[in-house]
Amino acid sequence: MTSKVANVRLSEEEFAFIDRLVEDGYFSSRSDFIKTGVKNLIHEISKRKIYEYKENREEPKFTHQELLDSIKKTRKEVYQEIWGE
């Protein structure tokens, strides 16, 4: 995965907090702290969106068996696309 640089402006207090955790060995660097925080936030927001879908969806269009069949069908198609067989 390629990465890009982002400049983030933080308060002295926030830096002090991060530096303390780095010193204590919880994170290897300030960058490690921020990257972990971003990843955790992405996880939480994604999860929230998935649960929003689960709570608000209409009656399932698929039966359980239809869902399994659709997964099987998708697997076949992806395999053919990737491996050409």
> Nearer Cβ to another protein, position 16 or 41?
41
Residue 79 makes contact with another protein by CB under 8 A: yes
- In angstroms, what CA-CA distances link 10 with 13, 29, 58? 8, 15, 43
User: If phi over 0 gives left and psi between -120 and 50 gives alpha, with beta otherwise, what is residue 8?
Assistant: beta
> Nearer Cβ to another protein, position 9 or 61?
61
Residue 64 makes contact with another protein by CB under 8 A: yes
Q: How far apart are CA 34 and CA 83, in angstroms?
A: 38
Q: Which residues bind another protein (CB under 8 A)?
A: 39-40, 42-43, 45-47, 49-50, 53-54, 60-62, 64, 67-68, 70-72, 74-82, 85
